[in-house]
Amino acid sequence: MLSDRQGWSKGIGIVSWTLKIASVSTATLWKVPVDKAPLALQDVLRWIQGNGWWMFVALAVLILIIDSVASKLRDPWILNAVQEALDELQQHGFEGKELKNDPLDLHRLTLFRHHRTCFRRYPFWGGFMVPVLRSGHLTKRTNAFFRVPDRADQTEGIVGRAFRTANTIKVTDLPDVGTDNANADDVMLYAEKTFVTPEWVRENKPKARSFMGIPVRVGGKILWILVVDSQKPDSEAILKKIERRYETTARNFVKLLERLP
């Protein structure tokens, strides 16, 4: 049963990638000047540019359906095991007297995965870190889709910096920018220290005051980033504690991630 499920998952993955390539190709050809194209391609370009809008919509819908089916084919026990690992790291790090009354959703771990495309951002190709799982049972929804293109200077966020440098990144003592009245200097400082733009900070009003990004290698490549965020600004010791615990469990953690299609 497992091998059948994996076979279906790989097949659907191929279909998904084919549709995504077709979608990107349609968007690219949509902008090509017809009169500058070779004569043999001009009729094709005219047809694509005349019908591209419905092709693009149809491909986007098909991709959503295929990806939804693919996610359901993942072995539930693997996702549950990864979720338990995230929850354990969260509880291990954010324990003790000073934190015992804090809701755990103030201190989270989010697992990001590298994707070539992301239809939540435009342009939707070039490399992204996409959130897959988050610790706890609240604040599961997120719009944190960070760009990690081949041009290293254009990577975004803590997750992008960890991906770019292949090193663990820690940032603490960030200013409070989680309100509409955030000071302009604080917004600039927050953006600079977390590798995003001031516009992103103003729009998203992040409440986290500390971050850590840990690159996770699977098959020799950095395919995942584990991000810790906390509303506690002075959390150096906590982040170090989570980092040490992760290092002792990394081998088993990676083995789980290798099983995800």
Please check whether residues 229 and 115 belong to one and the same domain: yes
Residue 194 in any domain: the answer is no
Q: What is the pLDDT of residue 73?
A: 57
**CA diameter of the chain:** 74
Q: What is the pLDDT of residue 15?
A: 76
Please check whether residues 21 and 138 belong to one and the same domain: no
Tens-place pLDDT, residues 33-42: 877 777 777 8
Count: domains in the chain: 2
Residue 196 in any domain: the answer is no
Please check whether residues 88 and 119 belong to one and the same domain: yes
Phi, psi at residue 107, to the nearest 5°? -135, 110
Nearest to 129 by CA among 196, 204, 177: 196
Query: To 10 degrees, the CA torsion angle through 189, 195, 82, 242?
Result: -50
What residue numbers bound the domain in which 148 lies? 76-173+209-258
Q: What is the pLDDT of residue 4?
A: 40
Tens-place pLDDT, residues 157-177: 999 999 999 999 999 999 999
Low-confidence ranges of the chain (pLDDT < 70): 1-13, 30, 52, 68-75, 96-101, 104, 137-141, 261
Residue 20 in any domain: the answer is yes
Cβ-contact 100, 220 below 8 angstroms: no
- Domain end marker among 49, 73, 97: 73
Please check whether residues 38 and 92 belong to one and the same domain: no
Nearest to 130 by CA among 143, 138, 22: 143
**Whole-angstrom distance, CA of residue 86 vs CA of residue 79:** 11
**Whole-angstrom distance, CA of residue 129 vs CA of residue 169:** 15
Q: Which residue has the tokens 């968007």?
A: 27
Residue 26 in any domain: the answer is yes
Q: What is the pLDDT of residue 91?
A: 87
Q: What is the pLDDT of residue 6?
A: 45
Q: At what angle do helices 236-258 and 76-93 cross, to 10 degrees?
A: 170
Please check whether residues 94 and 126 belong to one and the same domain: yes
Please check whether residues 103 and 159 belong to one and the same domain: yes
Q: What is the DSSP string of 160-187?
A: HHHHHHSS-EEE-------STT--HHHH
Residue 200 in any domain: the answer is no
Q: What is the pLDDT of residue 216?
A: 95
Query: At 38, is the secondary structure helix, strand, or coil?
Result: coil
Q: What is the pLDDT of residue 8?
A: 54
